[in-house]
Structure 1
């Protein structure tokens, strides 16, 4: 954003991104607290504080490599856990059938228990609802700090392309579809569950061997921790690289790498503490997650994308779009408007960015900084190789 527009635009983007990262980390900390409270009966606040302390510690000293290694192990455990919970869940719904037969008839079992209305994938879905969710999570998976830092840490362009495809398949097929199935199974087997957000760990402990269930729960906890560590690391990079180092460079002062690392670690601890407080004060995981992500999306997504694909976009428009989109999203969320706040925020951001870019001209050729060609036919082989 600094290269495409200017430093004030980059700073505003950093602030909005920090809000999203803190909220996302806080939501995952709260999730772990709920799991430990449900499974082990630990006081939620104690569970939240202990979880935060452990995650902050290993992220602080392990850095990006520590995050990458733990994420890799946790993802494997989580994927195996999803498959086992689905298989044993269908078996629990039809105890007289074999595991294989129950799995094959899973759709029919859910239909018989929950009814056709629940099983109808479009029953309560509206166009605006779909757009709202897509818009909320698209920036998280495209232009967020947690995604960009992974790209920069890759060994080669080819590895980035291959892993991006694998992630899309994993998230789209395994995670999204699998978690939806588990939600239906949980509604069938545990209709009176006090906290529906704990359905996966509860099912893991009740329908599978307790020892296997504990391993799966560990994977679930690990998945939450992987979200926390990535967001904390991204937030600390914002402060050190985007704010602190830029301030030194603008004054012509040298950057001390050792001091920067120390600052990053302390920043990570402080931001982790803020996320922990947010987790304690917020009753809902999704409430905290969605509110902060929508602010980030409503404020920054349009200026970022127009900066990439519209050469006429300038800093006057970007600043207007970020401030207007962010404030609109916050106000609409507080007012609980019928239309999703992030949609209204994006509309205001789009109008502001385009209008002010046209009305106020800017000298220079920054609009040409990101002129590039998209994927061509010769690149399609990458997907086949992956």
Structure 2
């Protein structure tokens, strides 16, 4: 009981800090650009860690260590694919998207950028993009809330719905009032907590298991195949795992960070910080799994749930107060993703659906109010979906990642690097990619053989390219913005 009390104190302090950051961001939010994009004022460290924290979720501290604990390095191919994809995203998308969104009518969301970039007067592209974001992210947010409810249930013995309400209330509070700045600042802090926890647990754990050599020997004794990258993995399985990296180019809650950084020059520093954070965190997660294998082999005990290896080791190694911080790291991973997805879904509702469909003019204060209402509405719908505690919702995470990657990824890349993309090309490509992912992902024979993001990405790329070639007509404004973007990048000497 005393141990749980110490851990609960750590969690309460963590949540209080998140609410304080939300209040601080609220004081700095005065217009819609502030609320949806932080006034394009983020520094490189905040941009990098907020992108990383919103991306990784509970997978980094629970899913990956659990998979490595059970199957070894054969499960590391997804981490390799994600690292390569994240690096290429920072290198090729971040600088151009930062400049292009500013040049193209100061776009503050991905759908508004696509409309402004391609001069779509019909608003079809913007509305279709907004609907895709709204649908996928509502379920995405719901899956995070389910994870939060289960976290409190497994860690403190609270009833699932009580945990769900606690997590939802705190995330909604700081996202609702502080907007994008609150989400980014809290993600930065959460990213630091996750990073420190993933370095501390395996580092201290190695000493407990007798040092590096003794730890490796114990792992080999438990299962000599755990260090084998290809044990039990097929070539198609490796391709599917690596293909997760393709998803980065189309994830709205990640690439929106590139739009918010203070200047294009800062993207280089942000890339180094972000990839450094990601590499060390992933290595820490893998090392945690192996230390867990060694520890439980040496003590001749079994771990009931492999995905709890990080949490259990933290509780064994550290004082309950520090172990509480380890628990806060898991909660940070869950909450950072929920908040990022909430703010992007809110922007899709207000900026891309409400303003585009109703064509109303309102003051910034009114739009910010509508943004906060949108956060609340989406959160309530997500909570309703999460209430029954169905596992099927959690399975939608990988499906949603593929959906965004297949529907948006090729279009983002083409609009940034090819001036002949057309509205029809982007619209047909987006729809074709989304449908391909939907069909492939729902047919068990297909989805079990190859991850649906691969055919979705390829189909979207081919359709967008072919239809754009057929429908292309020179537009002086598009051409001017395209070359203005290149000139700005050159001036900034990125």
TM-score by length of 1: 0.84
Instruction: String of CA shifts for 1:170-207, please: whole Å, max 9, x gaps.
Output: 11x22211112223333454674444333322322233
Describe the shift of the 1:87–1:113 C-alpha distance in structure 2 as closer, same or farther (beyond 3 A): farther
Q: In structure 1, what is the Cα distance between the partners aligned to 2:142 and 2:309? A: 20
Query: Which residue of the partner structure matches residue 93 of structure 2?
Result: none
Q: In structure 1, what is the Cα distance between the partners aligned to 2:135 and 2:234? A: 28
Describe the shift of the 1:74–1:350 C-alpha distance in structure 2 as closer, same or farther (beyond 3 A): closer
Backbone CA RMSD of aligned residues: 2.8
Describe the shift of the 1:89–1:335 C-alpha distance in structure 2 as closer, same or farther (beyond 3 A): same
Note the 1:120-131 alignment, pairs <5 A. 120-131=228-239
Conservation of the 8 A alpha-carbon contact between 2:350 and 2:371:
yes
1:26 aligns to 2:139 (yes or no): no
Q: In structure 2, what is the Cα distance between the partners aligned to 1:43 and 1:32? A: 12
Query: Which residue of the partner structure matches residue 165 of structure 1?
Result: 272
Query: Which residue of the partner structure matches residue 175 of structure 1?
Result: 281
Structure 2 SS opposite 1:370: helix
Query: Which residue of the partner structure matches residue 163 of structure 2?
Result: 47
Structure 2 SS opposite 1:4: helix
Describe the shift of the 1:107–1:29 C-alpha distance in structure 2 as closer, same or farther (beyond 3 A): farther
Conservation of the 8 A alpha-carbon contact between 2:219 and 2:293:
no
Q: In structure 1, what is the Cα distance between the partners aligned to 2:384 and 2:309? A: 25
Q: Give structure 1 stretches of 5+ with no counterpart.
A: none
Conservation of the 8 A alpha-carbon contact between 1:58 and 1:66:
yes
**Shift in Å at residue 284 of structure 1?**
6.5
Q: In structure 2, what is the Cα distance between the partners aligned to 1:355 and 1:68? A: 38
Describe the shift of the 1:22–1:129 C-alpha distance in structure 2 as closer, same or farther (beyond 3 A): farther
Decide which of 111, 128, 131 is 1:15's aligned counterpart. Answer: 131
Decide which of 223, 227, 237 is 1:114's aligned counterpart. Answer: 223
Query: Which residue of the partner structure matches residue 222 of structure 1?
Result: 332
Query: Which residue of the partner structure matches residue 360 of structure 1?
Result: 471
Q: In structure 2, what is the Cα distance between the partners aligned to 1:214 and 1:344? A: 43
Query: Which residue of the partner structure matches residue 206 of structure 1?
Result: 316
Query: Which residue of the partner structure matches residue 257 of structure 1?
Result: 364
Q: Give structure 2 stretches of 5+ with no counterpart.
A: 1-113
Query: Which residue of the partner structure matches residue 414 of structure 2?
Result: 306
Query: Which residue of the partner structure matches residue 276 of structure 1?
Result: 383
Count residues in correspondence: 366
Conservation of the 8 A alpha-carbon contact between 2:176 and 2:375:
yes
Note the 1:336-355 alignment, pairs <5 A. 336=444, 337=446, 338-355=449-466
Query: Which residue of the partner structure matches residue 178 of structure 2?
Result: 62
Q: In structure 1, what is the Cα distance between the partners aligned to 2:394 and 2:245? A: 12
Query: Which residue of the partner structure matches residue 3 of structure 1?
Result: 116
**Shift in Å at residue 15 of structure 1?**
2.4
Describe the shift of the 1:197–1:10 C-alpha distance in structure 2 as closer, same or farther (beyond 3 A): farther
